[in-house]
């Protein structure tokens, strides 16, 4: 009985010694360290915090293994600077696995001009050999509306009308003063100009543009998303 108890306590000691707990605060600290190193192109934190067999998918849909990921960490060009801040953090830590989900707020300065972008990233950390490292990471960029440009109300007359996608599937374009609207199934949205003939809807990814026929008149409305077009033919 005494021997069995000693064996049990020894096994428990080994398990406890192998377990290195981690907190959300420590995961955030390491994550911020990664992003702080990007300006200088310091690869050391990325080598340390990413597992050798990691998977990394960026906001453009590109896939990186660790060698490719590390090779992509290079200093910003001359005239460029920036900061990246980790925000809105959520985590789930269960035994040897931790999932960290967060936003990053990026400010990039290019020869004195500031650009901003927001991303959402989810990292999966795994503890192996008493060491916590990222085994998988996935990034998404938040959609942002383009800057509003100037429309040419003189062109609205050519845009106004009814457009058909298929029998019974129509949408209409109307104007109210110097504003243009699109309506379908009772839902009316303003078409905000990016240029005089290129429009977008607030919070909706994609563009609305108008196609001209050889006679110089608008014959279709094009709903363009991810460089793919859905064509609505003008009926009246």
Q: Which two tokens stand for residue 215?
A: 């006679």
Residue 6 forms part of a structural domain:
no
Do 133 and 222 fall into the same domain?
no
In a domain, 133, yes or no: yes
Q: Are residues 182 and 127 in the same domain?
A: no
10 has a pLDDT exceeding 80:
no
Residue 33 lies in a domain: yes
Q: Are strands 63-64 and 131-141 parallel, antiparallel or unpaired?
A: unpaired
Q: Which of 119, 141, 163 is the endpoint of a domain?
A: 141
Hunting for tokens 């379908």 — which residue is that?
A: 184
The answer to whether residues 55 and 133 belong to one domain is: yes
Tell me whether residue 9 is in a domain: no
Q: Which pLDDT score, from 0 to 100, does residue 11 have? A: 46
**Sorting pLDDT into bands at 50, 70 and 90, what band is 164?**
very high
23 and 126 share one domain: yes
pLDDT tens for 36-80 read 999 999 999 999 999 999 999 999 999 999 999 999 999 999 999
Number of domains in the chain: 2
Q: What is the mean pLDDT of residues 188-196?
A: 93
Binned at pLDDT 50, 70 and 90, residue 24 comes out as very high
Q: Which of 89, 115, 141 represents a domain boundary (last residue)?
A: 141
pLDDT score of 18: 56
Structure tokens of 195? Answer: 């240029």
Looking at the structure, tell me whether residues 137 and 173 fall in a common domain.
no
Helix (H), strand (E) at residue 12: helix 2-18
Strand order from edge to edge, sheet including 63-64:
63-64, 50-57, 131-141, 113-128, 97-110, 80-94
Residue 84 has pLDDT above 70, yes or no: yes
- Distances in Å between the Cα of 19 and the Cα atoms of 46, 51, 73, 130, 132 are 23, 18, 31, 6, 10
Cβ-contact 67, 151 below 8 angstroms: no
Q: What angle do CA 105, 111, 117 make, to 5 degrees?
A: 20
Residue 108 covered by a domain: yes
Residues 105 and 59 in one domain: yes
Residues 133 and 197 in one domain: no
CATH of the domain at 115: 3.10.450.50
Which of 100, 116, 141 represents a domain boundary (last residue)? 141
pLDDT at 12: 45
Backbone angles phi, psi at 12, to 5 degrees: -65, -40
In a domain, 167, yes or no: yes
Decide: helix, strand or coil at residue 27.
Answer: helix
Looking at the structure, tell me whether residues 42 and 158 fall in a common domain: no
Q: Is the pLDDT of residue 5 over 70?
A: no
| pLDDT, tens digit, 9 for 90 and up, residues 90-107 | 999 999 999 999 999 999
* Co-location of 119 and 189 in the same domain: no
**What's the pLDDT score for residue 196?**
84
Instruction: Determine the Cα–Cα distance for residues 70 and 167; give it in Å rounded to an integer.
Output: 54
Tell me: the pLDDT tens digits for 114-135? 999 999 999 999 999 999 999 9
Answer whether residue 217 is part of any domain: yes
Q: Are residues 133 and 54 in the same domain?
A: yes
**Judgement on whether residues 102 and 33 belong to the same structural domain of the protein:** yes
Residues 124 and 164 in one domain: no
Cα gap 187→171, rounded to integer Å: 10
Q: Which domain holds residue 173?
A: 153-234
Q: Is 173 exposed, middle or buried (0-12, 13-18, 19+ CB in 10 A)?
A: buried
205: domain CATH number is: 2.40.128
- The answer to the question of residue 148 being in a domain is no
Rounded mean pLDDT of the chain? 91
């Amino acid at each position: 009985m005494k021997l069995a108890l000693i064996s049990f306590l020894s096994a428990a000691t080994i398990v406890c010694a192998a377990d290195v707990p981690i907190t959300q605060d420590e995961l955030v600290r390491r994550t911020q360290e990664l992003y702080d190193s990007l300006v200088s192109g310091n690869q050391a934190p990325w080598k340390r915090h990413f597992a050798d067999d990691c998977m990394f998918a960026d906001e453009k849909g590109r896939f990186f293994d660790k060698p490719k990921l590390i090779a992509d960490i290079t200093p910003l060009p001359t005239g460029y600077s920036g900061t990246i801040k980790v925000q809105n953090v959520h985590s789930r830590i269960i035994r040897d696995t931790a999932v960290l989900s967060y936003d990053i707020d990026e400010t990039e300065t290019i020869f004195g001009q500031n650009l901003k972008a927001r991303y959402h990233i989810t990292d999966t950390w795994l503890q192996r050999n008493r060491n916590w490292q990222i085994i998988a990471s996935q990034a998404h960029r938040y959609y942002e509306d383009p800057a509003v440009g100037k429309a040419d109300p003189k062109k609205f007359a050519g845009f106004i009308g009814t457009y058909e996608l298929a029998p019974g599937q129509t949408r209409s374009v109307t104007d109210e003063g110097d504003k243009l609207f699109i309506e379908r199934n009772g839902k009316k949205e303003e078409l905000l100009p990016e240029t005089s003939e290129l429009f977008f809807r607030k919070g909706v990814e994609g563009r609305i543009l108008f196609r001209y026929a050889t006679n110089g008149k608008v014959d279709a409305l094009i709903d363009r998303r991810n460089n793919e077009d859905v064509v609505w033919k003008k009926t009246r």
